Chain A
Amino acid sequence: MQAYVIRRLLALIPTLIFASLIVFVSMRLIPGDVIDMMLAQNDISTAQDRDAIEAALGLNKPVFMQYFDWIYGVVQGDLGHSLWRNTPVTEQLAESMPITFELGFLALIVALTVALPIGVYSAIRQDTTGDYVTRSFSLLMLAIPGFWLGTLVMVFPSVWWRWSPEIEYVGFFEDPVRNLTHMIVPAILLGLAMSAVTMRMTRTMMLEVMRQDYIRTARAKGLSERMLVVRHGLRNSLIPVVTLIGLQAPLLIGGAVIFEQIFVVPGMGLLLLEAVSQRDYPVISGVFLVVGFGVLLINLLVDLSYGWLDPKVRHQ
């Protein structure tokens, strides 16, 4: 297991290098006229200010030096300063990251509580009406755009019942109840969107596993159907499902951007959108780094969980 963990960590290094290059290069694509636009927006246009902004972005050095400077800062936990607020990017991220994390975590819980039971049900009742209904539902959830569902939830209850979801954010530790009443609607919508793919995968894997010889053996020795499904069926279907959850992590964060905007949740998505509208590049690259690192971490945890789910991995 230890060797497995070390191997997995080493494999991360090239990915991290490429990821940092992607963030760096995409931020260096900033054409000069954007700096002009920043100056115009602020009603300042002296050459001095221009130099100051170029220096703040580090654009006055050779490109490879800029990269190493930037990496050097990143490794020390310094992501630079916001161009407009003059606060460290890390400070802004520290405020917004836990909020997005909470939203994502709640959504994941919703997704799993919906997807796993329905996926299993759909598989053990294959080709019945229930199976068709749940499968159509999951296909539909794949097609409905999250922002439309969010819009409908905002508009129609308000038109029909004069009720609309909470859109004022309160910190979880200030008032957990109000925080959850705000977060629960976007979390459910995000979770439902995510459940569709997980449901399909659970069903496919369950169908495959339930045809295996060891399931027949277990049934023949008189194991209850419940034990059969949960202990032998579900457990063996979980590896691809867990992998899928790891693969969906970027989707979850991407979806969070939309729902944070609709329900005014001040997480990283809203921070990113704000930074984009102000062209605050240090903040944009900061969000990217954190998100990229978060996704890598989730996938690492997913890989490590194989050891727990599958003894074959553990004993390799």
Chain B
Amino acid sequence: MTVATSLLPAPAQHGPWVAFTLRLIREKPLGAIGGALFVLFFFCGLFADVISPYGMNETNLLERLQAPSFSHWFGTDHLGRDVLSRVLVGAQLSMLVGFLAAGLATLVSIVLGVASGYFGGKVDMLIQRFVDAWMIFPDLLLLIAVISVVGAGIPQIVIVLGLLYGIAGSRIVRGSVIGVKENMHTHAARSMGARTMHILIRHILPNIMPVVIVLFTTRVGATILTEAGLSFLGLGIPPPAPTWGGMLSGTGRTYMYLGPWLALAPGLCLTIVVYAINVYGDALRDLLDPRMRGSR
């Protein structure tokens, strides 16, 4: 008897996060790969200063426009700067902007969505008509216009991107708040005389968390992509900061005909990161919130 029990696998000791990750790997392998790729890029960005072989703005005119080789994996640009090092620092900038902007966007979505969904009535009507009006303007156009007024720079871009996606995303939060509002436990809390703030924090917020997590994940990808587009148009983080979008535009563009590898690395990194986070976000959505499946 004692032998039999010792042969059984030990009961799970790990917390909910590990359990969830294991479930992700088992049920959504592609999503897990996406998540792993994203984490890889995240750490590349985090330790870019340590792992990049050269300085991001270290010029060496003797080695300009060299094709990829062992000493320069991704080649060098027209000023002899190492493309790999620049791409790594670019990952850092992208991750920084992506996480901060997506975080702010999620916060704005929660505040607007909860206010609109929970209070309903005139508040809801007013907020929703505003969101309607907001959403008729293309993201990129609003960004271009606002950045042209407030100037380019990381803080401005994070705030504008955060507001932009936050207002649009509030619709999704609102939808799920309306669903949760009618749950029995919310009614029970209200009839027991709980304060509104208490209900919102203890009863509404925890129940919309799956939606919020998925929203945040997809927003990281979206903001990284939009920032790159903005840098490509010359309105993002100003040079010589090596943003992925910026590396594909400006003076670098004229030299691509002599060194086509210049066009590859930044775009490829951008595509892989956004693909990875989209696949991961899809998998998260399927696991956390099956109702959202197929939307988007």
Contact = CB atoms under 8 A, between A and B. Distances in A.
Residue among A14, A204, A291 with max Cβ neighbours from chain B (10 Å): A14
Nearest to B231: A147
B275 A143 contact: yes
A165 interface: no
Interface stretch (B59-67, B184-192, B199-207, B252-260): B252-260
Contacts of B135: 250
B270 A148 contact: yes
B275 A140 contact: yes
A295 interface: yes
A296 B141 contact: no
Contact of B296 (A19, A197, A277): A197
A139 B138 contact: no
Nearest to A253: B138
B27 interface: no
Contacts of A200: 294, 296
Nearest to A31: B149
Interface stretch (B98-106, B114-122, B125-133): B125-133
A258 B274 contact: no
B141 A258 contact: no
B46 to A, nearest CB: 22
Interface in A180-216: 197, 200-201, 204
A72 interface: no
Given A26-B146, A155-B260, A155-B263, A250 B132 contact: no
A151 B256 contact: yes
B129 A258 contact: no
Interface string B227-269: 0110011010000000001001100010011001001001100
A29 B150 contact: yes
A273 interface: yes
Contacts of A140: 271, 275
B5 interface: no
A30 B278 CA distance: 36
B58 interface: no
A87 B140 CA distance: 26
A295 B133 CA distance: 10
A311 B132 CA distance: 27
Contacts of B44: none
Given A22-B133, A254-B139, A276-B144, A145 B270 contact: yes
Contacts of A22: 133-134, 137
B145 interface: yes
Contact of A250 (B138, B221, B257, B279): B138
Residue among A16, A144, A197, A255 with max Cβ neighbours from chain B (10 Å): A144
A152 B263 contact: yes
Contact of A258 (B130, B133, B229, B270): B229
Interface residues of A, number: 53
Interface in A1-39: 14-19, 21-22, 26, 29-31, 34
A151 B267 contact: yes
Given A14-B129, A18-B129, A155-B263, A147 B232 contact: yes
Given A18-B132, A261-B233, A158 B253 contact: no
B71 interface: no
A151 B129 contact: no
A26 B145 contact: yes
Contacts of A29: 146, 149-150
Given A18-B133, A261-B233, A288-B137, A158 B257 contact: yes
A156 interface: yes
Contacts of A257: 138, 140-141, 144, 233
Interface in A138-165: 139-140, 142-148, 151-152, 155-156, 158-159
A139 B149 CA distance: 35
Contacts of B142: 26
Contacts of B235: 276
Interface of A: 14-19, 21-22, 26, 29-31, 34, 139-140, 142-148, 151-152, 155-156, 158-159, 197, 200-201, 204, 250-251, 253-255, 257-258, 261, 272-273, 276-277, 279, 284, 287-288, 291-292, 295-296, 299
29 contacts: A17-B133, A18-B129, A22-B133, A22-B134, A22-B137, A26-B149, A30-B149, A34-B149, A140-B271, A143-B221, A145-B229, A145-B267, A145-B270, A145-B274, A147-B229, A147-B248, A151-B248, A151-B263, A152-B267, A155-B257, A250-B136, A250-B141, A251-B139, A255-B140, A257-B144, A273-B233, A291-B141, A292-B136, A299-B136
Interface of B: 129-130, 132-142, 144-146, 148-150, 221, 225, 228-229, 232-233, 235, 245, 248-249, 253, 256-257, 260, 263, 266-267, 270-272, 274-275, 278-279, 294, 296
Closest CB pairs A-B (n = 5): A18-B133, A148-B267, A254-B138, A143-B275, A254-B140
Given A143-B272, A272-B145, A279-B148, 10 more contacts: A29-B149, A29-B150, A143-B274, A159-B260, A253-B141, A257-B138, A258-B233, A288-B145, A291-B138, A291-B141
